[in-house]
Structure 1
Amino acid sequence: MKYNLKTPAVLLLADGTVFHGKTTEKFSSNRLGEICFNTGMSGYQEIFTDPSYFGQIMVTTNPHIGNYGVNSDEGESESVKISGLICKNFSFTTSRVNSDSSLEDFLEKVNLPVIFDVDTRALVSHIRKNGAMNAIMSTDTDNLDALMEELEQHPSMKGLELASKVSTSKAYTLGDKLSDQRIAVLDLGVKQNILRRLADRGGFIKVFPYDSSFQDLMEWKPTGILISNGPGDPEPLTSAIELAKHCIEEEVPTFGICLGHQIIALAMGIPTLKMHNGHRGINHPIQNLKTGKSEITSQNHGFTIDKDSTVSNSQVEISHMHLNDKSVAGIRIKDKPCFSVQYHPEAGPGPNDATYLFDDFFDMMSKQNIEA
């Protein structure tokens, strides 16, 4: 069993803090990325394959990772998207009847490094206090100065465009070809469960590359447009912002999720901000300000939209609020068929409290078609 090798490994943060652990074998190369943590107690496969995590080293607060293996039907993309994994206890034994393989084999196929036996409670506390920052994973434990030099060359997530790294290279379709609801999805790093939610409601979906224009999407004659989740800073995505502006001006029913939410905000002149450590987990409380009801949500984002600018924007209303820090969790454009949320209503992993938003999207498309 590879666990017996217990190769020493190190995690070095940009502020010079060092965390030691073990790994299964020597890394073929050092791994770099922004360090972040997820508080979910389950759903690690969905997290590791979520395109929104591209370029990030993932710390799991759940102490047991790998215990239920992986299943080929539960990925949110075709491959692992995180840059590396940090955990407390890595399980080499799979204890689920319907698992296809162990997490060890799943990660080994893509050469993804794992450092375990790390004091993740101390690591997460450090990130919470000092904020998200770049980090490097290595088995070269005796050359910290060289590792720091390499780390200092790694770009900051602020200003980094990553949607191009995870978006489809060519458009494709799925769902019911005979459906009256034709949904164009701008793929900034779309999760498969978003597409499943649309298809399950009878939609015909065409997924477009991240840099597609408004005209590209409209040539397909969609009844609505969904701007997806994805990784990186939203500000460099100028073509997506321009597309969102056209969607709003032309009153095409539009739904934005996470990065798509930020894109819509930027299209309305609302700036985005890098968060201290982000929201990542499956138990984030949100309040729907229209109904007064609360919902528990799945979240994964390191950027947010500026609250003061949102409040002062006469064309925008806040529809949802994060109950932990009072940040903006959803907006609607007044008198326009456009809304967005800063969380994942499709879940995967996470609770299903917010899936009604897909019904709202379909209702909005139907209403707009009737009025047209």
Structure 2
Amino acid sequence: MTAETLNFRQSSALPYVRAWLLGMAALIFCMVIVGGATRLTDSGLSITEWKPLLGAIPPMTEAQWLEAFQKYQQIPEYHLVNKGMSLSEFEFIYWWEWSHRFLGRVIGLAFFLPFAYFAVTGALSRSTAIRCGILFVLGGLQGALGWYMVASGLVDRVDVSQYRLAAHLSLATFIYGAILWVAFGLGLKRHVPETGQQWLALLIAALVLLQIAAGGFVAGLDAGFGYNTWPLIDGAVIPKGLFVGEPWWRNMFENALTVQFNHRNLAYVIFLLVAAQAWVVRSRASQMLLVAVLGQVALGIWTLLWAVPLWLGLAHQGGALIVFAAAIWNLHRELKGQRMAVLRHVKA
């Protein structure tokens, strides 16, 4: 990392910039939870159009509600799953999807307006401004990816593609982690991993992100509603039917049994690595991460055994983000270096 100094204005603004970024991370956390509720209530296909601006206004009259309902009645999900549903039942699923999209718009404004202010007033260092600009672009791409996901369920399907769902969830999680990474590192110089324990911290953070992506496939295939036993799965440690599909690799993404099996076992791997690091390093960050992982494992087993009730499914999804935040913090503490020097402008 190149050496960088902060001027006095940038140094004074650090607490405010950090609070803004942490607030954005909290909003994204809420966004993911609302997205999970949208998925678990089968609400994601209720709005069949993407209107980035006008879509912020929900139906206001009975005629507008009927028009939105008629558009929903033209897609396969209505005919094959919800045929005969009432207007009030449609309004219930509509409000979930509308809330999810509206929160996305709020997040866009809550990021852009302070970002523009901080950039114009010189409160951001060059590197921080570049990182925040990249995050804003990624946020826009996330919105487009969300519509790409929804579009996959409007023709020839009664739900969205699990591939696109996992991609949508993974990008949201990556943005969430990246915002935390920038917030934690404000005013500090961090170095690249050099020791084994630092590389391990990086590996753990990457595996947690991979596990969340795997959870996206579990959600996309409704894999959590089957094989609701633990520790055995379908009556065995290694069940039959893991690779019944051809070619074999498609089972990793399209076979509900294989997807759930992989999600379970990756959780065990993460737990062992985190426990080993906490035992060796004995830092507060590694111990916090271990507590978060233990809680998430217990929550995951509970969610599975109870066949994913809405509140438990959302708690498990929120727990995943807490684990990822703890993994990012743990990595930050391992790579934390010295504080940047502050240059004061002195008038002659």
**Higher RCO (Cα < 8 Å, 6 or more apart):** 2
Which has the greater radius of gyration? 2
Provide TM-score, normalisation by structure 2: 0.31
Q: Which structure has more helix as a fraction of its residues?
A: 2
- Larger % of strand: which? 1
The normalised TM-score by structure 1 is 0.30
